[in-house]
Chains A and B, each alone.
Chain A
């Protein structure tokens, strides 16, 4: 009797297993990505005056995406290439050599001494993830400190590295909370890893001044902290690649052995090509070879080797003096347009008689403006004025044009007065 009951129960259990539900009925829907979800909603809106100041991709003054001329020319040159085979695990050597020259400066000692380990990565995200996995493997007890706010949490979480936050943005001034930052750096256990945005902090647009960077660098030395720079906007922030790399140069010249993740998504408009570079300054050439080999070991079971096309575009541009000049000109144009839109937005808000202080709009730098608007105000902007931005109040200045800046200013004024 008992045996038959057990058998029946097993069969029922088996049937449940093989039921119509299958293996995945317990999988809940993931929340929408907050940033990419904004563009989805924008596209679905049919209102004629709708404005997309959500995702961070550059737009020209007509609100259209742009393919840089230097990129078109590079693509033309590489079309019909005979090579489509696998890149090495560390990516295109030619590409990484040019990328690190851009990041550290052509004449940097660390480059002449050949002690920079560098690998091609899947844009900036890929560079951070590769470093996070490397940090987990070789410094398993270490912590990573990420600024408040930023968008990197999930990367280190998936790499299973414990993260802490450090103060960065001051909502009262809409600028840098420098004393809070220094305090948190000082209080962090010695030898902590810190994620720093090299320029044009995303999402706030707030960067330390040159003096502040120098002080931060000194404090890092005292504490023996490890600086990891995320540089996604070199050239795009001020229009000058040297100036935008100043934080990195300050740290490098102070002797820090930094790591740097570079992205060519924005400054070359190569977004979908996923082109980036991770570099680590080491003590000796031998150490840089060892570090590179270990970074490759992490890349191999993740994607084997990085994609070819985008790296070829970048190499072609950076290795040709004319194309490189053209690129510098084009990236300056993009940066200048954004700076002029900042000025226009602020001007219009002040002209409308807003009682609020909008100085941060022009003080902040790069693609994003942390407006200071609340979530409720953002929701009103979207509902009533069809203006799309992320709920943290981040405005992508790249989406602002001479055609929509007045409308935008008016909408912001209406919800904030």
Chain B
């Protein structure tokens, strides 16, 4: 009876009730009020959010969800990009442990609010790491840096700042790019376009296409560049190609926005992995760079990162920093202290820093050795096709070139979990699981028709 009342069609008993209510109540309150009070006593009437549909699962995180559900003992998770040891275990770096212990032991430390732009020491050290401590931009004090929530947060704060203060609304992302980039920029108020990047035929860089698209972009466009270890393909421009891109971008007066999530993790050398960014600073031009310490310090969950904006003059950098605060304050007021304190402790102590570079190199080397092992294993099985891209690509991920069908087959028959675009996380491989993966690839490639993407 009550159900229909809610939909506005009263039953006869409700009409009788309504007549009665009008007699009893001096204000002649309607039946709707009575019905509502009745129902709310036992539960809610209706929600303002009834129309909210369930959002689709995040495609990357969804891989781990599926992996966890699989009872097979031979399953392998090559989905999400978090580093794993040879034993398949997550890692907390020794230097991080040491830094944490120091922080814990320091009873004089408080947990008060950081400034809006975060921990000053962390900002200085983070900027030095990417730009180099002798960088003219730093020496001339024309870099505005704000601690943000890892790479995502740095990109988002940058996007919102650009949407407010930059004359061009267009941002060009490489095709493909990390799945979250699109929404970060569009939610931040910019219009997203793409430039050609990955060439499925070579499983390498479509340099010609990239140059053409960047040249065709309206002057002053924002160009998102992966500083190194492109996610998801692992394909990076060569130094010569970076130089060509730099000249083109400067000639077109585009504004480069670097996403640096793997400094030190790609080649094992912090300086080498920062070369592209530094070349754009060396020419005296302006740029933005978002840094993440999630992977290279293993601080994933602590959300440590920074946004740096290189400006022409010190006075301008000061103004820019003040405007960054206005973006950050209504978003989350000020950033979390714990992770940034760990990073500042490590980067600010020469011994800990040296130890860190060794641990970082070990992680990068393990990944490089996995690439070699996988390549050898595929060769050993005589799998058709050219698999050298596995060696040429760099960083945590490899775009194998496998198609959706092949990936689905590998998941079903071999319990290999990876994203449907054929991306594997090399960090999830170990010497033990390489043979199994090679078997799976071999079966997928020879068993199903080998379709060119």
Q: Which residues of A contact B (CB under 8 A)?
A: 14, 17-18, 20-30, 32-33, 36, 55, 57, 65-67, 71, 75-76, 79-80, 82-89, 122-123, 125-126, 129, 138-139, 154-155, 157-158, 191, 221-222, 226, 254-255, 257, 265, 269-274, 280-283, 287, 289-291, 293-294, 296-298, 300-310
Report whether A289 and B54 are in contact in the complex, using a CB–CB cutoff of 8 Å.
yes
Report whether B333 and A87 are in contact in the complex, using a CB–CB cutoff of 8 Å.
no
Report whether B323 and A27 are in contact in the complex, using a CB–CB cutoff of 8 Å.
yes
Which residues on A sit within 8 Å (CB–CB) of B114? 272
B36 at the A interface (CB under 8 A): yes
B97 at the A interface (CB under 8 A): yes
Contacting residue for B335 out of A157, A274, A296, CB 8 A: A274
B128 at the A interface (CB under 8 A): no
Closest residue of chain B to A57, judged by CB?
A: B112
A129/B332 contact (C-beta < 8 A), A33-B116, A307-B149 known: yes
Report whether B334 and A309 are in contact in the complex, using a CB–CB cutoff of 8 Å.
no
Report whether A306 and B303 are in contact in the complex, using a CB–CB cutoff of 8 Å.
yes
Contacting residue for B330 out of A88, A125, A282, CB 8 A: A125
A158/B331 contact (C-beta < 8 A), A33-B116, A84-B96 known: yes
Contacting residue for B320 out of A27, A222, A296, CB 8 A: A27
Contact mask B104-125 → A, CB, 8 Å, 1/0?
A: 1000011111111000000000
B152 at the A interface (CB under 8 A): yes
Contacting residue for B300 out of A85, A255, A296, CB 8 A: A85
Report whether A23 and B336 are in contact in the complex, using a CB–CB cutoff of 8 Å.
no
B50 at the A interface (CB under 8 A): yes
Closest residue of chain A to B47, judged by CB?
A: A283
Which residues on A sit within 8 Å (CB–CB) of B448? none
Which residues on B sit within 8 Å (CB–CB) of A306? 303
Which residues on B sit within 8 Å (CB–CB) of A76? 104
How many Å from the CB of A313 to the closest CB on chain B?
Answer: 9
Report whether A79 and B152 are in contact in the complex, using a CB–CB cutoff of 8 Å.
no
Report whether A67 and B110 are in contact in the complex, using a CB–CB cutoff of 8 Å.
yes
How many Å from the CB of A245 to the closest CB on chain B?
Answer: 19
Residue picked from A22, A32, A222, A297, most chain B C-beta under 10 Å: A22
Report whether A122 and B298 are in contact in the complex, using a CB–CB cutoff of 8 Å.
no
B215 at the A interface (CB under 8 A): no
How many Å from the CB of A289 to the closest CB on chain B?
Answer: 6
B187 at the A interface (CB under 8 A): yes
With A30-B325, A272-B114 already in contact, 15 other A-B pairs whose C-beta atoms are closer than 8 Å: A24-B286, A27-B165, A32-B322, A67-B111, A84-B301, A87-B301, A129-B330, A154-B330, A254-B40, A283-B47, A293-B54, A300-B180, A307-B302, A309-B336, A309-B339
Residue picked from A76, A123, A307, A308, most chain B C-beta under 10 Å: A307
Report whether A82 and B92 are in contact in the complex, using a CB–CB cutoff of 8 Å.
yes
Report whether A24 and B165 are in contact in the complex, using a CB–CB cutoff of 8 Å.
yes
Complex Cα spacing A157 to B164, Å: 13
Residue picked from A22, A27, A255, most chain B C-beta under 10 Å: A27
B210 at the A interface (CB under 8 A): no
21 residue pairs of the A-B complex, CB under 8 angstroms, read A21-B316, A22-B316, A30-B325, A67-B111, A79-B104, A84-B96, A84-B298, A139-B48, A158-B327, A257-B44, A265-B113, A272-B113, A273-B111, A273-B336, A274-B333, A287-B52, A300-B183, A301-B156, A301-B187, A303-B149, A307-B303
Closest residue of chain A to B181, judged by CB?
A: A301
B311 at the A interface (CB under 8 A): yes
Which residues on B sit within 8 Å (CB–CB) of A269? 111
Complex Cα spacing A18 to B219, Å: 12
Which residues on B sit within 8 Å (CB–CB) of A79? 100-101, 104
B318 at the A interface (CB under 8 A): yes
Report whether A280 and B49 are in contact in the complex, using a CB–CB cutoff of 8 Å.
yes
B277 at the A interface (CB under 8 A): no
Closest 3 CB pairs of A and B: A255-B40, A22-B312, A272-B337
A85/B101 contact (C-beta < 8 A), A57-B113, A274-B335 known: no
Which residues on A sit within 8 Å (CB–CB) of B80? 86
Report whether B301 and A255 are in contact in the complex, using a CB–CB cutoff of 8 Å.
no
Report whether B111 and A221 are in contact in the complex, using a CB–CB cutoff of 8 Å.
no
Report whether B320 and A84 are in contact in the complex, using a CB–CB cutoff of 8 Å.
no
Report whether B311 and A24 are in contact in the complex, using a CB–CB cutoff of 8 Å.
yes
Report whether A27 and B96 are in contact in the complex, using a CB–CB cutoff of 8 Å.
no
B150 at the A interface (CB under 8 A): yes
How many Å from the CB of B309 to the closest CB on chain A?
Answer: 8
How many Å from the CB of B7 to the closest CB on chain A?
Answer: 15
A307/B55 contact (C-beta < 8 A), A21-B312, A255-B41, A301-B183 known: no
Report whether A25 and B316 are in contact in the complex, using a CB–CB cutoff of 8 Å.
yes
Report whether A84 and B302 are in contact in the complex, using a CB–CB cutoff of 8 Å.
yes
Report whether B45 and A255 are in contact in the complex, using a CB–CB cutoff of 8 Å.
yes
Residue picked from B53, B149, B188, B299, most chain A C-beta under 10 Å: B149
Report whether B302 and A125 are in contact in the complex, using a CB–CB cutoff of 8 Å.
no
Which residues on B sit within 8 Å (CB–CB) of A154? 326, 329-330
How many Å from the CB of B324 to the closest CB on chain A?
Answer: 9
Contacting residues of chain B (71-94) with chain A, CB-CB under 8 angstroms: 80, 82, 90, 92
B184 at the A interface (CB under 8 A): yes
Report whether A82 and B156 are in contact in the complex, using a CB–CB cutoff of 8 Å.
no
Complex Cα spacing A289 to B150, Å: 27
Which residues on B sit within 8 Å (CB–CB) of A25? 312-313, 316
Closest residue of chain B to A127, judged by CB?
A: B332
Which residues on B sit within 8 Å (CB–CB) of A255? 39-41, 43-45
Residue picked from A24, A30, A293, most chain B C-beta under 10 Å: A24
Complex Cα spacing A190 to B153, Å: 36
Which residues on B sit within 8 Å (CB–CB) of A122? 149, 331-333, 336
How many Å from the CB of B280 to the closest CB on chain A?
Answer: 13
Report whether B301 and A257 are in contact in the complex, using a CB–CB cutoff of 8 Å.
no
A290/B52 contact (C-beta < 8 A), A22-B313, A89-B58, A307-B338 known: yes
Report whether A138 and B49 are in contact in the complex, using a CB–CB cutoff of 8 Å.
yes
Contacting residue for B112 out of A30, A65, A254, CB 8 A: A65
Closest residue of chain A to B333, judged by CB?
A: A125
Which residues on B sit within 8 Å (CB–CB) of A304? 149-150, 152-153, 180, 303
Closest residue of chain B to A113, judged by CB?
A: B43
Complex Cα spacing A77 to B294, Å: 23
Which residues on A sit within 8 Å (CB–CB) of B115? 36
Report whether A271 and B113 are in contact in the complex, using a CB–CB cutoff of 8 Å.
yes
A86/B112 contact (C-beta < 8 A), A138-B52, A297-B55 known: no
B385 at the A interface (CB under 8 A): no
Closest residue of chain B to A79, judged by CB?
A: B104
Contacting residue for B153 out of A265, A282, A302, CB 8 A: A302
Which residues on A sit within 8 Å (CB–CB) of B46? 283
B450 at the A interface (CB under 8 A): no
Which residues on A sit within 8 Å (CB–CB) of B52? 138, 287, 290-291, 294
Which residues on A sit within 8 Å (CB–CB) of B183? 300-301
